[in-house]
Amino acid sequence: MAHTYEYPRPALTVDCVVFGFDGAGLQVLLIRRGLEPFLGAWALPGGFVHMEEDLEAAARRELEEETGLKGVFLEQLETFGAPGRDPRGRVVSVAYFALVRPDRNPARGDTDASEAAWFPADKLPELAFDHSVILTTALERLRGKIRYQPVGFELLPESFTLTQLQALYEAILGRGLDKRNFRKKLGAFDFVVETQGFAGGSHRPARLHRFDHDKYEALRSKGFLFEL
């Protein structure tokens, strides 16, 4: 027997904040809307949740449909449901944030996104809906998260220099870090491992390092807390 609901039901969407790091600064992937409302405006990738989908599946589907991204680090951020946030009606959005490498994920628009592009996180265009609020919330989450969990390694090449790693943290935190103190703290963690390789292009090439996921997980299972 079908149920009749006394109260109207809002629509449900997902929105995705996609962060990248180009070696110098933090980047955000945006799509240009190909449909009303906000036709032609820049926005976060996202869309409506299908009735048979769970939330993360919907977020991953929208990311792949609108930007081509798949198999990326994805984490639920927060729910945004202010009345009037969407001119189409009462729409609640569950936001996610993703961490990817722009060099491996070139921007491309698809389905209802007429275009996609990477933008510097500190030089963003005006965004549709309440997406500027969602993006600010995601950046605050990322800044807090990298202090206790090494998610930043999702944004780096498989092999990287310590200078690149410090530049990543500075880009996310929005401030400079003392090189000596940063490397001293980093030296206490044996999951940042030296490789046999060196970065090219210098008469004193820098040693390349890699992140050892297995060592980190082994430490974390014993109650280890990552702090930088």
Q: What is the pLDDT of residues 143-159, one digit of tens each?
A: 999 888 888 889 999 99
CA proximity to 199, closest of 166, 159, 226: 159
Contact between residue 150 and residue 210 where contact means Cβ atoms under 8 Å apart:
no
The average pLDDT across 111-131 equals 90
Query: Is 66 among the catalytic positions?
Result: no
List where CATH 3.90.79.10 sits in the chain: 11-145
pTM beyond cutoff 0.85 = yes
Of the options 3.90.79.10, 3.65.10.10, 3.10.20.30, 1.10.468.10, the CATH number for the domain spanning 11-145: 3.90.79.10
Distance CA 24, CA 117 (A): 17
Is the pLDDT at 186 greater than 70? The verdict is yes
pLDDT at residue number 185: 84
**Token pair in block for residue 60:** 């991953």
Helix residue ranges, H only, the chain: 55-67, 131-145, 162-173, 179-187, 213-221
Please answer whether residues 30 and 127 qualify as being in contact, where contact means their C-beta atoms are separated by less than 8 angstroms: yes
**Contact partners, residue 66, CB within 8 Å, separation at least 6:** 31, 45, 46, 47, 109, 110, 111, 112, 113, 116
Candidates 56, 64, 115, 154; catalytic one: 115
Q: Which fold has domain 159-221?
A: Arc Repressor Mutant, subunit A (1.10.10)
Q: Kindly report, as residue ranges, where domains of CATH 1.10.10.10 are found in the chain.
A: 159-221
The residue ranges of DSSP E strands in 62-107, in sequence order, are 73-80, 91-99
